Amino acid sequence: MYTVYADDKNIYNPLVEELSIINAKLDLELNKAGSFSFTVPPTNPYINSLTKLKTQICVFENDDLIFRGRVLDDQEKFNKALIVKCEGELAFLNDSVQRPFEFKGTPSELFTYLITRHNERVDDFKKFKIGNITVTDPNNYISRSDSEYSSTLTLINQQLVKTLGGYIWFRHEKDGTYIDYLEDFTSLNLQEVEFGKNLIDLNKYSKANDVATVVVPLGAKIKNEEGEEQSESRLTVAEVNDGKDYIENEEALKLRGRIEKIVTFDDVTDPLNLLRKGMEWLGKNVMLTETLELNAVDLSGLDQNFNNFKIGAYVKVKTLPHDLDVNLLVQKLSLDLQKPASNKLTLGTSFTSFTDREHDFNNKFGNIIESVENIKNSTIIISKNQPNDKSRIWCDISTDPPTFKKWDGEIWQIINDPTNDIQNIIENVKKEINSSIEQSANNIKTTVEEKYYKKDETDKLISKLSTEFAQTKDAFEMNFNEFHTDINDLENSTNENFENIRKYIRFKDGNIILGVEGNIITLKIKNDRISFLENDYEVAYFANNKLYVLDAEFKNSIIIGNFGFIHRENGHLSFRKVR
């Protein structure tokens, strides 16, 4: 049940006739303020209690506060009804102006600095307690400045979110409202999105607008001995890059041609550091940006057995025709307070790939006849009589429609609803096979998995371990997957805190590649060298009995033959014989 408050006044309660509003629609979106619009009839006793920019509007779903904001606009109709539009609390950060500053430090320190300055200049209800900050920079050091008297929200978006990513998130606790800056979310909705059940639409977008194959990195402006800048000249990588002021990616050049871009690092004064940052930037920008977006219906409005979707939480998406079984983040929620059955959500994810990923968005089986033949060849025996081979699925064609059965050790057990159409039967059969070989024109995949469910409930997955082996004409890949949820969340029927780890070993072009999905560091083993990659760019390697490193940092000591550089307790460094 939804309720709405204007400051401390309950202006909407579906159980109280006079506390009514109509056309109440709430739109929530990550890193956006969100909006809430509704119409107050003239019979509502609090119709004159709404002050633009001052009145706080709170929307509750049962006991959960799902929107807090303020009245932005209103319009009085001929019949004295009042149309009200509200904006979410992220917009409060527009009400403070940051004075010119120069900053050097960590992302956490900059975020804290901006929110602290914001709190000094706004009304109490617009202040935020600083919460969890999990976004970091690879060097844990950033340099930022502003001389334009920009708003706090503008600076957070431009100097943090745009460059480092992450999400601005609000938590409403008993002691106040906390503002978090999160790298990612770890909550998993209990309700799933499935093809044929609540999935409405699916689209994939691929963009190459920002792709570069060559970069000219520029550092800080060059200064003379007195520390004064010399015109507009900037540091380049020429002196540490064989006289070339540019960096190129040979593989990307062959694929896409020469696309040159300039990137400036104002705070970099060392050419080696500039070379490293240029390589990191190019490693990211040779990639295509791809976005997967899905729209689905929230079934909790139709069936109380479903938990409702929450923004900022992941949802398990299963759609066989699109070959998807992934967790996607709820990016947007559109809620109708009076018609919850029409609530919709948008899920999505962005990822990068060097070449265009091939997603088969056509039905894997083509048509019913082709589907039956594909499955028949691998997992099914089709006959009127019981087969002798009890290790495979039996399609009993003595019934109409056919019945699919599996041997449970004693009897042939029906595993599908015979009233379903043949396409649904095929999908049900496919779901029954946990250890399978999926074959297509492009690859062969073998999957073995072990699942653990809450006792007496086969629909609440606690953890899963699986190994996948995928073979194509030019590569072989092993994936090791671990999925865990918090069993306490399952007991309380709340959204789960989850952890999903995917490690891989790939054999491609005679090389071995090891990594963890989502981690920018990978290891590549070739026949003549072992390479350490960051964002697909080589930063160190072993070859010819030597270690080559772009940048090195030794925490304790360096031993060369019988001598060594030793770090002393007083903080000094000594060079002495150690053997």
- Least confident span in 88-97, 304-313, 328-337, 514-523: 304-313
| Contact of 250 with 257, CB cutoff 8 Å | no
Q: How many domains is the chain partitioned into structurally?
A: 6
CA 306 to chain centre: 24
Are 417 and 491 part of one and the same domain?
A: yes
What pLDDT is attached to residue 430?
Answer: 45
Q: What is the pLDDT of residue 226?
A: 65
Residue 58, pLDDT > 90, answer yes
Residue 160 has pLDDT above 90, yes or no: yes
Query: How would residue 411 be classed by pLDDT, with cut points 50, 70 and 90?
Result: confident
- Tokens coding 102: 């120069």
Report the pLDDT averaged over residues 414-421.
Answer: 55
% residues pLDDT > 90 (the chain) = 34
Domain extent at residue 555: 549-577
What confidence score (pLDDT) does residue 576 get?
82
Judge whether residue 259 has pLDDT over 50: yes
- Give the pLDDT mean for 484-488: 54
Q: In the predicted model, what is the mean pLDDT of residues 175-202? A: 86
- Whether residue 217 is predicted with pLDDT greater than 80 in this model: the reply is yes
- CB-based contact 61:80 (threshold 8 Å): no
Give the span between the Cα atoms of 109 and 130, in whole angstroms: 11
Q: What is the pLDDT of residue 441?
A: 43
Q: Is 530 helix (H, G, I), strand (E, B) or coil?
A: strand
The DSSP code for 494 is: S
Give pLDDT, residue 520.
Answer: 76
* Higher per-residue confidence, 29 vs 305: 29
pLDDT value at position 378?
Answer: 43
Residue 121 confidence (pLDDT): 95
Same domain membership, residue 407 and residue 536: yes
Query: Who has greater pLDDT, 502 or 454?
Result: 502
List pLDDT tens digits, range 187-198: 888 788 887 777
Residues 267 and 405 in one domain: no
Q: Is residue 569 part of a domain?
A: yes
Q: Quick check: is 358 in a domain? A: no
Q: Please tell me the total number of residues recorded for the chain in this structure.
A: 579
pLDDT tier, 426 (very low <50, low <70, confident <90, very high otherwise): very low
Count CB-CB contacts under 10 A for residue 204: 13
Residues 498-554 pLDDT 10s: 666 667 777 777 788 888 776 778 888 888 899 988 877 788 888 888 888 877 777
Strand order in the sheet with 176-182: 129-133, 176-182, 167-173
Residue 360 lies inside a defined structural domain of this protein? no
Q: Using alpha carbons, list the distances in angstroms from residue 60 to 1, 57, 65, 235.
A: 8, 10, 4, 55
Asked if residue 379 lies in contact with residue 393, where contact means CB atoms within 8 angstroms, the answer is yes
Q: What is the mean pLDDT of residues 57-63?
A: 93
Distance CA 235, CA 274 (A): 8
Closest CA to 499 of 286, 314, 282, 306: 314
| pLDDT mean over 163-167 | 91
Question: Higher pLDDT residue, 90 or 267?
Answer: 90
**Residue 363 falls inside a structural domain:** no
**Mean pLDDT score of the chain, rounded to an integer?**
79
Same domain? 500 vs 424: yes
Q: Are 220 and 136 in the same domain?
A: no
112-126, 158-172, 306-320, 365-379: segment of lowest average pLDDT: 365-379
> CA 527, 532, 534: angle at the middle one, nearest 5?
135
pLDDT-derived band at 167, boundaries 50, 70, 90: very high
At which of 286, 307, 331 does a domain end?
A: 286
Helix intervals (H) in 248-325 = 250-256, 271-285
- Our measurement of the distance from residue 331's CA atom to the centroid of its chain's CA atoms, rounded to an integer in Å, reads 9
Can you read off the two tokens belonging to residue 406?
Answer: 């599996």
| pLDDT band of 210, cuts 50, 70, 90 | confident
Contact 504/521 with Cβ under 8 angstroms? no
**Does residue 500 lie within any of the structural domains?**
yes
Q: Is the pLDDT of residue 359 over 70?
A: no
- Greatest alpha-carbon span in the chain: 95
Q: Mean pLDDT: which of 108-117, 236-245, 337-346, 424-433 is highest?
A: 108-117
Higher pLDDT, 355 or 210: 210
Q: 455 and 512 share a domain? A: yes
Claim to verify: residue 225 and residue 132 sit in the same structural domain: no
Please list the residues that pair with 2 across neighbouring strands: 61
Distance of CA 284 to the CA centre of its chain: 17
Which of the pair, 131 or 317, is modelled with greater confidence?
131
Give the type of residue at 148.
E
Whether 323 is in a domain gets the answer yes
H runs (alpha helix) in 157-308: 162-164, 250-256, 271-285
Most confident of 151-160, 293-302, 366-375: 151-160
For position 143, what pLDDT does the model report?
A: 87
Give the HSE-up count for residue 442: Cα atoms under 13 Å, Cβ half-sphere: 5
Q: Which residues contact 405 (CB under 8 A, 6 or more apart)?
A: 393, 394, 396, 412, 413, 414, 415
Q: Identify whether 366 is part of a domain.
A: no
Task: State yes or no: pLDDT of 377 exceeds 90.
Answer: no
Least confident of 5-19, 337-351, 428-442: 428-442
**How large a percentage of the chain has pLDDT more than 70?**
76
| pLDDT computed for residue 508 by the predictor | 75
The pLDDT value recorded for residue 8 is 94
Of 89, 104, 131, the residue at which a domain comes to its end is 89
Helices 368-378, 422-432: axis angle to 10 degrees equals 30
Mean pLDDT calculated for residue range 349-370: 43
Identify whether residues 282 and 339 lie together within a single domain. Answer: no
Q: Tell me, yes or no, whether 514 and 553 share the same domain.
A: no
In a domain, 564, yes or no: yes
User: What was the pLDDT predicted at 457?
Assistant: 44
- Which residues partner with 293 through β-bridges? 203, 348
Q: Which of 60, 89, 118 is the last residue of a domain?
A: 89
Higher pLDDT, 491 or 562: 562
* pLDDT score at 68: 97
Please report, for the domain that includes residue 176, its CATH number. 3.55.50
433, pLDDT greater than 80: no
Instruction: Spell 155-175 as b/e; 16+ CB within 10 A means b.
Output: bbbebbbeebebbbbbeeeee
Pair 282, 293 in one domain: no
Mean of pLDDT values over 473-479: 69
Q: Please report the pLDDT score of residue 437 as a whole number.
A: 40
pLDDT classification of 140: cutoffs 50, 70, 90 = confident
Shared-domain flag, residues 390 and 507? yes
Task: Output the six-digit token pair for 266.
Answer: 């104002």
The answer to whether residues 393 and 323 belong to one domain is no
